[in-house]
Amino acid sequence: MDSSLAGRSALITGAAQGIGAAIARLFAAQGARVVIADIDEGGGKATAAAIGEGGGEARFVRADVTSGADLDAAVRATVAAYGRLDIAVNNAGIEEQGGSALHELTEEAWDRVMAVNLKGVWLSMKAEITQMLAQGGSGTIVNMASVAGLVGLPLGISGYSAAKGGVIALTRTAAIEYAGQGIRVNAVCPGVVRTALLDQAINAGIFTEPEAATLHPTGVLISPQDVAQTFLYLASEMSNHVTGQALPVDAGMAAG
């Protein structure tokens, strides 16, 4: 078995930047035909253009993951472009502003993080699974969770942690529910990843890079490309018998 995705179609939400963009580029490099779904039109189109300039095949569709209609349209666009939906990566999400204790978190902030990070994954899976079943079954779904959904962290991110824990539970339940139809469902649980959001926090003086790295037992930050490799593993034939798993890419955080 190998990691080739040649000839397979993939819908990736939240791929305008960061980890999602890294996943889209890697999948395209492995032969997948990619649809990038994101609310950020500029970033999404730029990611698709970069893939095309590198010899890959990608297109962009605007989608808000809190809208079931948008996600249905994104799936239809994938099928219209490539004939079917083979792989879905539900990566879109937002960061909760750290430092707020649970009792200080506003209802508005709670509802927003749940709408994007948990409801958005459910709506995405609902549209994707409906299409995969219409194709006669089979398909692969990989959801973006977090190490914060696996262990408690004293970082003031209770809403984010709850949403990511919900994604893990949803992943496991869906894996069992659709195993008989040949649809595999897994999740990836990254630790602290070197993205633009982390850089902004470092530049704002919230913490230093060494302080961020010390959250990992290895003392090293994770790159978006590191996380993308794990998504590739779960989307490819290398993981044919892997389903219902929440796979940490966390430099040892969940082991503590």
Cα separation, 243 vs 129, whole angstroms: 15
* pLDDT: which is higher, 238 or 153: 238
Give the mean model confidence (pLDDT) for residues 19-45.
98
Q: Does 99 score more than 70 pLDDT?
A: no
71-97 tens-digit pLDDT: 999 999 999 999 999 999 999 999 876
Continuous segment of H or E residues that includes residue 33: strand 33-38
159-218 tens-digit pLDDT: 999 999 999 999 999 999 999 999 999 999 999 998 877 887 788 776 788 888 998 999
**Alpha helices, H only, the chain:** 18-29, 41-53, 68-82, 107-114, 120-134, 158-177, 196-203, 209-213, 224-235
For the question of residue 233 being annotated catalytic, the response is no
What pLDDT, on a 0 to 100 scale, did the predictor assign at position 97?
A: 61
Give the mean model confidence (pLDDT) for residues 52-77.
98
Residue recorded with tokens 């506003």: 106
Q: Does 1 score more than 60 pLDDT?
A: no
Which is catalytic among the residues 82, 160, 178, 233? 160
Single pTM value for the model: 0.95
106-156 tens-digit pLDDT: 999 999 999 999 999 999 999 999 999 999 999 999 999 999 999 998 778
CA distance to 88, 131, 223, 246, 254, per residue, from 191 (Å): 22, 32, 10, 13, 9
Confidence at 242, pLDDT banded by 50, 70, 90: very high
Which 3 state secondary structure label does DSSP give 208? coil
Cα separation, 61 vs 106, whole angstroms: 32
What pLDDT, on a 0 to 100 scale, did the predictor assign at position 107?
A: 92
